[in-house]
Structure 1
Amino acid sequence: MRHLASVTGLRAAIAAAVITFTTSIGGTAVAQSAATYPERRVTFVVPYAAGGATDVVARLLASRLQEAWKQTIVVENKSGAGGVIGNDFVAKAPADGYTVLVAITQIIQAPSLMSSLPYDVFKDLAPVSQVALSPIVLTIPDAQPMKSLKDLIDLAKASPGKYAYGSFGNATTSHLYGELLKQTAAIDMNHVPYRGSAPLLNDLLGNQITAAFVDLTTAGPQLAAGKVRALAVGGETRKKVLPDVPTLAELGYPGFEAEGWIGLFVPKATPKDIVTRLSAELARIIASPEGMAGLQAVNLIPVGGTAHSFEATLKRDFDRWATVARTAGVRGE
């Protein structure tokens, strides 16, 4: 019996030692991966076409990050389905910090607008950093005769269903703004979704659509050139670069105070040390004079901050945009 007990005790001790050793090795591997990250190329995935605000920000950050880390950072555009294709690609990518999603507010709006999604933003993705706020502008082609929001609304009311407005994708801030305006102004305009802001602006310039809700980053140069005109802006206040353009609330249409943003995510199981390192480096870049100037030059409002603060923003905005979706009458697609 004593022999049996000693054998049993020895087996238990060996098992405990194996577990301790395995745990130690695993912990060391994670620590080493965080300490040496990145050891190879990092890919920034943009779920929209090249040329839009999300793409511009991704390339700006990738360039600065590449300089700081002396490691290749590439940008890949995986557009389609209003951002869902690119979002899903990253949600299912290896959780090692080498595939990073550059997303917009759509990612937190879509659950209230789409009947099903192939991923869950809270379960499958980890927030890294809220980069910047992205103002939205209601624009029309210069070829259009309207001079004010009232003119556009009067035109739409005179011919219900005849005119169309464009958005940079289904289940985006652009789409929600459009549907909310239809509800609050009691007008009927067809929604035409595009695969990003750049192709949307191209059709706006070509007078293929009557009006569009476009991000200020994409529309800014054409507004300055006089090729498109701004009728109103979203958000709580007027924008410094468009001081004479009123907010939608000023014009009597409340509900547009919530603004879009651009933020970075990684797959959920990515080691926290890697998330923290990436978040801290991005915060440093965004807060630097060069980072601030770069974002402001494309009409974005810099934010930065920690992964934790961005997570709090996601939870707040999930409820905020769900309310907008209900008010706008947008249903799952």
Structure 2
Amino acid sequence: MKEEKSFFKKIAVILPVFNGGEFLSDSVKSVLEQENNDYEFIACDDASTDLSLAKLLELKSLFPENFTVISNAKNEGLFRTLNKLIGSSKAPLIHLWSQDDIMKPNCLTECIKFHENHDNISMSYHDTEYIDEKGEIIPNDKQDGTPTIITTSRYANISVRWGCIAGNIANVTLKRSYLNKAGLFNEDLVVSGDFELWTRLASISNIGRNPEKLIYLRRHAGQFSRNYKSIFQRIQEDIAIHKKIIGLLPNKEQKIALRWWRWKTLTSYFNDLLFLLLRKEYVEFSKLLKLLKEKNNIFKISMRWFLIRIMRLIKLDIYFYKKVLDR
């Protein structure tokens, strides 16, 4: 008996768009010019106030078989739009995409191959290169020692120390069968819905890290101008997520994880507090100060922050983290 042929593409690329600006067309074209044609590509304009929808429709007219464009009548936000796109797609794998970034021609081929080689992972993320506004590569010599397969406990330990493991949405591929178990993005969250979903997926299955650098992730001034306005919201959401992450660990490891969280993550929030103060964002500063006071003594947080700066000056911070916090 012959195996029934699937009419679904192997992978879907979904792109939420809001005021995509000057980089949108190049981002879309980089998907439409993939070497692998076994994909569906759906973009949703989230009630942009610029010419984003017109740009999308123009590109659709050039690539009518590969590209679908939908739109929201009113602005729904990132995670509600992503859920709409997931529901509009059919492929078993879903690659999330961003309006600023560029896919390398082999990106989808390598994502499909990675999931075929690691069938029992709920999601994967791949490495990236960084580019600036002009498309020039920004040097990045940081080494990532994260393994290919990340267990639930490994995910929890990494996230407590370093935050959201993928770093972005544009380098993430989701597996639909696991989304059906874990659920979609939490639409009540404004900033950290991705981090929260990765945590739910990691709690039910291993996730994967593909070390191949498959996209160019763009850094530009427009992103920076938006970031400070959402600092408090991000931290408020992240704190609740970190609480769930620590709960994924065995009891004997939770104490160590909490110590790391206080020294690494909570102290990094003090950086954000100072940043808001320097920018004279006094309303956001007051909200974040109140939140940090609720989580820990603000004097202790500031002293940890100061001590870490001193240790970095004399190059003792790595020793401190490895030898002291892991006790």
Q: TM class, shorter-chain normalised? A: under 0.3
Compute the TM-score of the two structures, normalised by the length of structure 1: 0.26
Compute the TM-score of the two structures, normalised by the length of structure 2: 0.26
Q: Which has the higher contact order (CA 8 A, sep 6+)?
A: 1
Task: Specify the structure having the higher radius of gyration (Cα).
Answer: 1
